[in-house]
Amino acid sequence: MNLLARACLVLMPFGGGAVLAAVPADCPDLSGTYDVGNAAWIDRYHLSATGTVRPKSQAKQFATFVRDGDGFTLTWHMPRETVLATVRGLAERDPRKYGLWLDMVMRDPKLPLPYGVGEQEWANRMANLGPVFRVDATLRSRHCKDGWLLFGSDSPAGAAEVEGGMSGTRDAELWLSRDKDGALALKWQEYKTVRVVDQRYFNVPGMRLWSSESTDRWTASPAMDLAPLRADELPPDRRPRRPPSCQVTEEHETAFYQRLKASVPPRVQIENFSLSIVPGRRQADGACDGTPYTLTVSAPDAASVAKVADFLRADPHILRIDSQATTQPWGDGTLQVKFSMMALPR
Domain boundary pick from 83, 107, 140? 140
User: Would you call 286 helix, strand, or coil by DSSP?
Assistant: coil
Are residue 135 and residue 152 in the same domain, yes or no? no
In tens, the pLDDT along 181-239 reads 999 999 999 888 666 655 555 555 555 666 778 899 999 999 999 999 999 999 999 98
Judgement on whether residues 158 and 210 belong to the same structural domain of the protein = yes
Among residues 220, 236, 266, the one where a domain terminates is 220
267 in the same domain as 157: no
Question: Are 24 and 10 contacting, i.e. CB atoms less than 8 angstroms apart?
Answer: no
Cα–chain center distance at 171: 28
Query: Is 1 among the domain residues?
Result: no
Is 29 inside any structural domain?
A: yes
Residue 234 lies in a domain: no
163 within some domain: yes
230 inside domain: no
Degrees to nearest 5, angle at CA 129 with 128 and 134: 80
Give pLDDT, residue 200: 58
- Would you say the pTM of this structure is higher than 0.85? no
User: pLDDT tens across 259-284, in order?
Assistant: 999 999 989 998 887 755 566 677 78
Which of 140, 159, 174 corresponds to the end of one domain?
140
Mean pLDDT of 68-89: 92
241 in a domain, yes or no?
Answer: no
CATH code, 265 = 3.30.70.60
pLDDT score at 15: 34
Domain that holds residue 169: 144-220
Q: What's the rounded Cα separation, in Å, for the pair 293 and 155?
A: 48
